[in-house]
Amino acid sequence: MQEQFHSSRLAGRVKRFAYKAIMRERDMKIRKMLLASAAIACAAMPISAFADTSTKKIALSNNYAGNSWRQAMLTSWEKVTGEAVKAGVVASADAFTTAENQATEQAAQIQNMILQGYDAIVLNAASPTALNGAVKEACDAGITVVSFDGIVTEPCAWRIAVDFKEMGRSQIEYLSNKLPDGGNLLEIRGLAGVFVDDEISAGIHEGVKQFPQFKIAGSVHGDWAQDVAQKAVAGILPSLPEIAGVVTQGGDGYGAAQAIAATDRKMPIIVMGNREDELKWWKEQKDAKGYETMSVSIAPGVSTLAFWVAQQILDGKEVKKDLVVPFLRIDQDNLETNLANTQSGGVANVEYTQEDAVKVIESAK
């Protein structure tokens, strides 16, 4: 017994050591890749932005860090801005998170950032309106404020918003390519009463109007959770005709697939939402019988896009106040790479580069 215990501990230690070595190697690779991409970015833009913002300080004001999406967002920020600081693009890029997720607390945090002399504040706001006073104060002090995800309505700030409507509409557009004859759709909605749910659903219905060969035969609330979605879909299935496609909001595709697999129905095209379990299921189906679908959601790395946009504004670029985040869309051909990059139980992520930001800025003009 004792010996067994020792040997298992030893094995654990060996494993840990090997794991560390692998991680170190991976880190090196990533670093090399990032340096290379930075070099490409340099070469691509002859009027380099590097010299002009090298003395600038950028701060991230974040209201909440309590879920995996926010954690991934902060990790992406740390990684990308860390490299940018090392490369001398900006002088510093510090992240601050408020402890209580309260608007008045974040307003105080922003005012402190003004005092600390930051040149730009990248903001994920606790409230779209309650920070406006502090944001105005920052603008008046000559500070660039870029809000993303949780955006603010103050006109002097930049907004990198998520076009949830388009996210819903694009699903129907994809289905219209795959199923030119149309058919019945099952809609899985999110948490009732939340703004995001209304927006995505409105986009889906807009898409159905645009492609009238589709008809929404039923809709259930999956609350963006696989188990809730599975129960809800299993409940509505017996009352539905044949389903050609399932449109979703993310976090519910796997549950829907499980519910449908339990019946003798043909598997419809289920649009996924970039969660790891969804991608894994899709990969299994793809390998087994060539199942085809797509997956769409917002990458937590959008914080890094906001960082680069702030850097571009500091560099003197003309940038429109309202920008739109590109979705992270996964298709049949890039499924494997995205799945490999997604942590177990996490969300597919992408970190943006300066080039991506320039593209987003250009496309808004």
Q: Which residue ranges make up the site for another protein (CB under 8 A)?
A: 65, 94, 96-100, 102-105, 107-109, 111-112, 114-117, 127-134, 136-137, 141, 153-154, 195
Rounded to whole angstroms, the Cα distance separating 5 from 11 reads 10
Contacts of 133 (CB under 8 A, 6+ apart): 107
- φ and ψ of 128, to 5 deg: -70, -20
* Residue (37 or 104) nearer to another protein, CB: 104
Shortest Å distance, C-beta 70 to another protein:
12
Shortest Å distance, C-beta 125 to another protein:
10
Shortest Å distance, C-beta 139 to another protein:
12
Shortest Å distance, C-beta 322 to another protein:
18
Helix (H) / strand (E) containing 145: strand 144-148
Shortest Å distance, C-beta 193 to another protein:
10
* Residue (201 or 353) nearer to another protein, CB: 201
Q: Which tokens is 134 given?
A: 């502090």
Rounded to whole angstroms, the Cα distance separating 148 from 130 reads 15
* Residue (1 or 115) nearer to another protein, CB: 115
Buried b (16+ CB within 10 A) or exposed e, 55-81: ebbbbbbbbbeeeebbebbbbbbbbbb
Burial of 167 (0-12, 13-18, 19+ CB in 10 A): buried
Rounded to whole angstroms, the Cα distance separating 28 from 30 reads 5
List the beta bridge partners of residue 183. 214
* Residue (59 or 244) nearer to another protein, CB: 59
Shortest Å distance, C-beta 192 to another protein:
14
